[in-house]
Amino acid sequence: MQTVRLTRGTRILAIVATLGLVAALVALLMLGGAPLVYRTGMQPLPVSFLLLRNGVYVAGAAALLSLIGLIGIRRYGPTLRRLVPIAFVVSLAIGVVPFTFFNPRNPPPPIHDITTDMDNPPVFVAVLPLREAAKAANPVAYNPDDAKVQKAAYADIVPMVTKLPPAEAFNRAASAARAMGWTMVAQDSGDGRIEASDTTFWFGFTDDVVIRVTAQDGGSRIDIRSLSRIGRGDVGANAKRIRAYEAKLKDALG
């Protein structure tokens, strides 16, 4: 009787482990397919996001099933013994994808326009035709209501000040922008304005950046603004972009 119960239990665990494998594969397909169906125009963005979110849920179920399946791993055949741990690791990795974008305990605010100067934001000029051609949903006019929200969430997003004269500061700011891998749109040294676009890897979202260099106290002040073309919230992407640029610019300024 004891042997029968053990065999039945092993069989059940093997079934659970197999379901975990299947669920992990489905979750992987959903995660990979979410941006694909949007970028190819097969489905609108809300459907793609729904697919992504549900893929994370499926990954959670796969991780749980695989974890249960690991209980009987020593009793499985060689193939299942190899695949169950892989399924668990893959599903767990998929499940933590959202947490790589933001901390759920402190989610980013639902804004998509971040700037170092909220009183007088740098103005977009050269990218306007590109935004119009792309039918960008978000306007370029700065919403003053975003200022209070940004200050609370991104207090570290501030202008950069250097003792370098504006002309030299402009050249180094432009060099740092090129080093970011952005698509350069305009470099107007007379106006102290640099414009560029940055396309995200995963969904192919394009955000626009404008950098303004002005004279201040015998040196220069450099302001940055990063604006998404679509989406109410940017999951913190624009703030991360500005931080990354300022870090590179700091090195360039010396």
How does pLDDT run across 137-162, given as a tens digit for each residue?
999 999 999 999 999 999 999 999 99
Residue pLDDT, tens place only, 57-75: 999 999 999 999 888 777 7
pTM: 0.79
Q: How far is CA 25 from CA 21, 83, 206, 214, in A?
A: 6, 11, 30, 53
* Residue 180 buriedness (CB in 10 A; 0-12 / 13-18 / 19+): middle
Please give the Cα distance from 239 to 221 (Å, whole number).
19
Amino acid (one-letter) located at 105: R
The pLDDT value recorded for residue 69 is 86
Residue whose token pair is 């669920």: 23
Rounded to the nearest integer, the mean pLDDT of the chain is 90
The pLDDT value recorded for residue 103 is 60
The pLDDT value recorded for residue 52 is 86
The pLDDT value recorded for residue 9 is 67
Q: How far is CA 197 from CA 121, 127, 229, 241, in A?
A: 17, 8, 10, 11
The pLDDT value recorded for residue 102 is 58
Q: Which is nearest to 90 in space by CA: 110, 60, 127, 125?
A: 60
Instruction: Give yes or no for residue 202 having a pLDDT over 60.
Output: yes
